[in-house]
Amino acid sequence: MATPEFPEVEVPIKAIDAGTILSSILIIIIAYLLVRLITYILIRVSERAGGYRITIKMVIPLLKFSIYGVAIYFILGSLLSLTSTQLVAFSGLLGAAIGFGLKDLFADVIGGLILIFEKPYQIGDKVKIGGYYGEVSDIGIRSTRLITPDDDLVSVPNYLMFTEAVASANAGSPQMMVVIDLFIDPGSDAELALRILKEAVVTSKYVYISKKRPFTILLEDFPFYRRVRARAYVFDLRYEFEFKSEVTRRAWHEFSQRGIKAPQVTVMGEGPMSSITR
pLDDT tens-digit readout, 186-203: 999 999 999 999 999 999
Q: Could you tell me if residue 130 is left (phi over 0), alpha (psi between -120 and 50 degrees) or otherwise beta?
A: left
How far apart are alpha carbons 241 and 221 in whole angstroms? 26
How far apart are alpha carbons 138 and 34 in whole angstroms? 16
The CATH number, out of the four listed (3.20.20.70, 3.30.70.100, 3.30.460.20, 3.40.309.10), of the domain defined by the range 176-257: 3.30.70.100
The CA radius of gyration of the chain, in Å to the nearest whole number, is 28
Q: What are phi and psi of 213, to 5 degrees?
A: -130, 70
- How confident is the model over 130-148, as a mean pLDDT? 85
Give Cα 34 distance to the centre of its chain. Answer: 24
Q: What are phi and psi of 233, to 5 degrees?
A: -100, 145
Instruction: Output DSSP code: residue 51.
Output: G
Architecture per CATH, 126-168: Roll (2.30)
**Coil vs helix vs strand at 73:** helix
**Coil vs helix vs strand at 239:** helix
How far apart are alpha carbons 169 and 234 in whole angstroms? 12
What value does the mean pLDDT of the chain take?
Answer: 79
Is-contact 140 63, C-beta < 8 A? no
Q: What is the pTM of this model?
A: 0.62
Q: Enumerate the CATH 1.10.287 domain ranges in the chain, comma separated.
A: 18-117
Q: For residue 266, what are the contacts with CB-CB under 8 A and spacing of at least 6? A: 224, 275, 276, 277
pLDDT tens-digit readout, 42-59: 878 877 776 666 667 777
| SS3 per residue for 178-234 | EEEEEEECCCCCHHHHHHHHHHHHHCCCCEECCCCCCCEEEEEECCCCEEEEEEEEE
Range in 22-31, 51-60, 219-228, 252-261 the model is least confident about: 51-60
CA dihedral 250, 254, 256, 262 (to 10 degrees): -70
Paired residues of 136 in beta bridges? 146
Q: Enumerate the CATH 3.30.70.100 domain ranges in the chain, comma separated.
A: 176-257
Q: Does domain 18-117 have CATH number 3.30.559?
A: no
Q: Give the pLDDT band (50/70/90) at residue 96.
A: low
